[in-house]
Structure 1
Amino acid sequence: MLIVRSLLFNTAFYANLILWQIILIPGALVPRRQFMELVKMWARTSVWLLRVVAGIRVVITGQEKIPAGGALVAAKHQSFLETFALLPLLDDPTYILKRELMWIPFFGWYLAKARCVPIDRKAGSMALVQMTARAKEEAQHGRQIIIFPEGTRRPPGAPPAYKYGVAHLYQNLGFPCVPIAMNSGLYWPRRQFIRRPGTVRIEVQDAIPPGLAREEFFKLVQERIETASNRLLEEGRAELGMGPASSSETSLSKV
């Protein structure tokens, strides 16, 4: 049944994605804020399919900790789920993402319409300069800049691999940073077909005010995300009957 349910969900999810890419064609003509509301509708339908077809509930707590206006949102990245599940949580979100995604027909055009912030990883130090300038412009217009500080999806329990880009943004934007922890990788594993029924927990942590020294912030944002994510992983493992993490996983996750 797990395989069948996963197959049904994956089919429905990608069919829904294609449908919304068609729906958004005329939507690309409306103002960006209205366009983002349509994108959030796609995100909500995807979360609904997760619950109804795959049996995966998404529970988000701590929304009241998100400050109004511009902010940097630093989220754990374990699966594809958080790329859409975070959208309805925020007022006017945009993503830091690799430039190559902007080249995908339709999908990339919509990313441009949403004024996502591309980063050219081959541009070296100039990539940070360009990314920061674009992100600051969006944040000054009251938007929430979502970044995955590790740069890519990491399996649950893997040692953290945070990049300094998040600290660079924090220092230069001058806005609070909202850390977000989760255990999504247990239910929607990266590079796997299986979708395990259960409860994905996404937890908003206390916002970090602007003005901290770079190293102090870099240590604090990792500590808040990793401590909460490890706790959520243990709760998820218990729900799935996986048992606690091994001692090697626990020690690695604290690196």
Structure 2
Amino acid sequence: MAHAWQWLHSLVFVIQMYAMMGIMGVVFFPAALLTHHGARFAAKLYCRWVLWTARWMVGLRGEIRGEIPTGEVMVAAKHQSFFDIILIFNALPAAKFIMKRELLWTPVIGQYAYRIGCIPVDRGKRGAAIKKMVRDVAKGTQRPGQLVIYPQGTRVAAGAFKPYKVGTAILSEELGQDCVPTATNVGVFWKRTGIYRKPGLAVVEFLPAIPQGLVREEFMARLQEEVETASDALMREAGFDPDAVD
């Protein structure tokens, strides 16, 4: 019975979350068109709404750990669900994401993402995709901020593994920026798909920066090791054993 009630609360939470996305998107759209500051303000306000409603509607709290990056750095983050995007964007002063180009056509999200400086990239062959990503990121560097990239390229369920892509190392080289590995356990509570939201403490942790200038193989090995180790520790803290997942 408790699980059924939590599922019902989760359903109401999800419905109002997307309804509010549409409402805020329309209300703040004129301000977003005038300036990127207006778009960022609206997006931050929405993140805070999601965090607030998640806390009292489904018992899910969010927490940020580690030193929050504030300068011109890359943030290479573990991506488990929409909730880690909410936590990261709300925490960083000027986040801009590497995003799939098709998301530009998503109502509300696409328009606001473009206005806050997110960089859309095309899918394609590996080499061509990386070169295109570097060019697109270089075009967007005139607006200061923290460039967020998901090195696994997609959402990955808690306890599952997907190889890290070398594009993160190439971007660090080309942009001459340090990289902040970022771990999370949000997938334990808010899965990549489905309605159910589990109560608890979802954490995003910013780890010490990896300096630019490392050999690619060393950079990628260090990034993967640090993010996966810290994420596994956060998941175990939440009562989830990542080693038990097939």
Asked whether the two chains share a fold, i.e. TM above 0.5, the reply is: yes
- The aligned counterpart of 1:36 is 40
After TM superposition, give the deviation of residue 103 of structure 1 in Å.
1.6
Q: Distance in 2 between matches of 1:246 and 1:133?
A: 39
Q: Distance in 2 between matches of 1:135 and 1:90?
A: 18
Q: In structure 2, do the counterparts of structure 1 residues 168 and 182 end up closer, same or farther at CA, with 3 Å as the change threshold? A: same
Work out whether 1:49 is the aligned partner of 2:74: no
- The aligned counterpart of 1:132 is 134
* Percent identity over paired residues: 36
- The aligned counterpart of 2:10 is 6
User: Which residues of structure 1 form unaligned runs of 5+?
Assistant: none
Q: Distance in 1 between matches of 2:51 and 2:32?
A: 23
Q: For 1:194, what is the secondary structure of its paired residue?
A: coil
Q: Distance in 1 between matches of 2:29 and 2:141?
A: 26
How many residue pairs match? The answer is 242
Moved more, 79-88 or 171-180: 79-88
The equivalences for 1:87-236 within 5 A come to 87-122=89-124, 124-139=126-141, 141-236=143-238
Contact 2:181/2:227 (CA < 8 Å) preserved in 1? yes
After TM superposition, give the deviation of residue 123 of structure 1 in Å.
5.8
Q: In structure 2, do the counterparts of structure 1 residues 34 and 105 end up closer, same or farther at CA, with 3 Å as the change threshold? A: closer
Q: Distance in 2 between matches of 1:137 and 1:122?
A: 20
Q: In structure 2, do the counterparts of structure 1 residues 188 and 77 end up closer, same or farther at CA, with 3 Å as the change threshold? A: same
Q: For 2:33, what is the secondary structure of its paired residue?
A: coil
Q: Distance in 2 between matches of 1:44 and 1:139?
A: 27
Please, what TM-score do these two structures have when normalized by structure 2? Answer: 0.92
Q: In the TM superposition, what whole-angstrom CA distance separates every residue of 1:158-192 from its partner, at most 9, and x where no partner exists?
A: 12421111111111110110111010001001111
- The aligned counterpart of 2:20 is 16
Q: Distance in 2 between matches of 1:205 and 1:134?
A: 26
Give the alignment's Cα RMSD to 1 decimal: 1.8
Q: In structure 2, do the counterparts of structure 1 residues 129 and 45 end up closer, same or farther at CA, with 3 Å as the change threshold? A: same
The equivalences for 1:42-81 within 5 A come to 42-64=46-68, 66=69, 68-81=70-83
Q: In structure 2, do the counterparts of structure 1 residues 38 and 106 end up closer, same or farther at CA, with 3 Å as the change threshold? A: closer
